[in-house]
Amino acid sequence: MAQRRSAHARVVVKTAPPILQTSFRAFDRVTNTSTRTSSAYFLVDLIRQKPPAHAMTEPAPVPPISPPPNPPTALPLHTLPAPFTSENLTPITQGAEALVYKTTFLTPSTPAVVKYRPPKPYRHPTLDRRLTKQRLLAEARSLVRCKKEGVNVPGVLAADWEMGWMVLEYIDGRTVRRVLDGWAERHSSGKGEGGDGIKELMRRVGREVGKIHEIGVCHGDLTTSNLMVKTTPRNDKEEETEEALSGDVYLIDFGLTTASIQDEDKAVDLYVLERAFAATHPAAEELFREVLDAYGESYKGAKGVLKRLEGVRMRGRKRSMLG
């Protein structure tokens, strides 16, 4: 009887899955024959045995992890450091990187613009201070260089890179975006001519962009919102619009500026402006040709930049097509 059980156990061992055969060999090294036979039957019975009822039930659902508490209110981020106070600050705009206010500087009759880069709570404090200092200094250096070379940009009056603020000259006027929107509205309603005036404005835009590229400065964010036309405030909106067509063009917001003499970087600058025209001013998209024509005549290397612009356009179309 024992021999038949032993023979049957050997058959069970040979036909068992590999993982069980490994277990049987481990038992062989530490037990005798009778124990091996019992072990083989025990393992076979164990694998044939049905699991208990509680093992078939699904585990209890784990409650979701509660989200972290909200960061403290952003009110301190909107409070400028000394020597500025909220009493003489008028908000102008708020971007992704900075807050812009109108204020006075040195004397109550001297208007100025304060550009403040508040701390970013999602960045490590050390990294945040380093990035704020680098970007503020890069913007200030580009503005000082452009001003020295005769480019129409706001002058730098003061800066504190440790606290993240910079005081700039206040440019009283309208953005090119507002001027184009007003021209398109009047042009569609047939209330004004403005054809020659708006074309001349676009040529002045092209010449100003050519000036910064000639001295090796790339703006980084050329849009019609970052181009201003200096005007005198008037009560009559139509008169102010007409004056805007003949005002001086100023470049503002050099927060993403870089120093580069490469045609590729300059062509990307122009491509960003071209895309801004197409997206924001579809009615004035054809006027961008005036910008490029004036740019091509603004300095010696401009023709090479326009040739490189064709390649940038092709890559941009391919990226848009492929997503």
Residues with catalytic function: 221
Map residue 175 onto helix, strand or coil: strand
Q: At what angle do helices 302-322 and 263-280 cross, to 10 degrees?
A: 60
Residue 261 tokens, joined: 């003499």
Dihedral sign computed on CA atoms, order 115, 103, 172, 277: positive
Burial of 97 (0-12, 13-18, 19+ CB in 10 A): middle
**What is the C-alpha separation between 168 and 189, in angstroms, rounded?**
38
Nearest to 298 by CA among 220, 236, 206: 206
For the chain, state the CA radius of gyration.
36
Cis amide prior to 52 (ω within 30 degrees):
no
With the CA atoms of 259, 308, 197 and 208 taken in that order, what torsion angle do they form, in degrees rounded to the nearest 10? 20
Please give the DSSP secondary-structure letter assigned to residue 139.
H
